[in-house]
């Protein structure tokens, strides 16, 4: 997805002839880019559908890590609806207990996806004054 040679100047010159033939508004250009990127990367819904298998694979590798995923199915036979996710790796917990200061920081930010919600994190500062993640969660936003 990253190509330093595909600059704005190069892309505009490459597609100039195609753009001369059609007239569209700027808003439609942004929607076209969004649809094209979704086709390349997959939709957000497809990514959320992979959370269950991803966490199952993590459990195989590290059976002592703590996680919780909560889904809600409103209709029988409908795919589950993502609600909450918590991840806390055992190695991060041990790293916090062995090498961090005994003060933790809590932070959160709003997610701008179609599901909304918040990303909450628990962090600390290690011996080198660097940020050390302890755990994180994705939760529903306020309605």
Examine residue 12 and state whether it is found in any structural domain, yes or no: yes
pLDDT band at 10 (very low <50, low <70, confident <90, very high): confident
Mind spelling out the 3-state secondary structure of 83-118? EEEEEECHHHHHHHHHHECCCCEEEEEECCCCCCCE
Q: Are residues 130 and 60 in the same domain?
A: yes
Quote the pLDDT of residue 135.
92
Q: What is the pLDDT of residues 87-130, one digit of tens each?
A: 888 888 888 989 888 889 999 999 887 778 899 999 999 888 89
Q: Which residues does residue 87 pair with via DSSP β-bridges, in sequence order?
A: 67, 136
What is the CA angle 51-61-131, rounded to 5? 75
For the chain, the domain total comes to 2
* 42 backbone φψ class: left, alpha, beta (φ>0; ψ -120 to 50): left
User: 33 with 50, same domain?
Assistant: no
Domain extent at residue 99: 44-139
- Please tell me the predicted confidence (pLDDT) of residue 121: 94
Give pLDDT tens digits for 53-96. 888 888 888 888 788 888 877 667 777 777 888 888 888 888 89
* CA–CA gap between residue 131 and residue 119 (Å, rounded): 17
Same domain (yes/no): 59, 36: no
Residue 18 inside a domain? The answer is yes
């Amino acid at each position: 997805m990253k190509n330093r040679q595909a600059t704005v100047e190069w892309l505009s010159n490459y597609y100039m002839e195609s753009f001369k033939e059609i007239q569209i508004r700027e808003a439609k250009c942004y929607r076209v880019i969004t649809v094209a990127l979704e086709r390349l990367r997959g939709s957000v819904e497809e990514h959320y559908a992979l959370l269950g298998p991803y966490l199952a694979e993590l459990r195989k590798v590290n059976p002592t890590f703590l996680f919780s995923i909560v889904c809600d199915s409103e209709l029988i036979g409908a795919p589950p609806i993502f609600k909450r996710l918590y991840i806390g790796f055992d190695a991060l917990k041990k790293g916090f207990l062995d090498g961090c200061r005994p003060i933790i920081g809590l932070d959160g930010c709003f997610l701008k996806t179609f599901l909304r919600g918040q990303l909450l994190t628990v962090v600390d500062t290690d011996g080198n004054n660097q940020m050390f993640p302890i755990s994180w969660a994705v939760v529903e936003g306020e309605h």
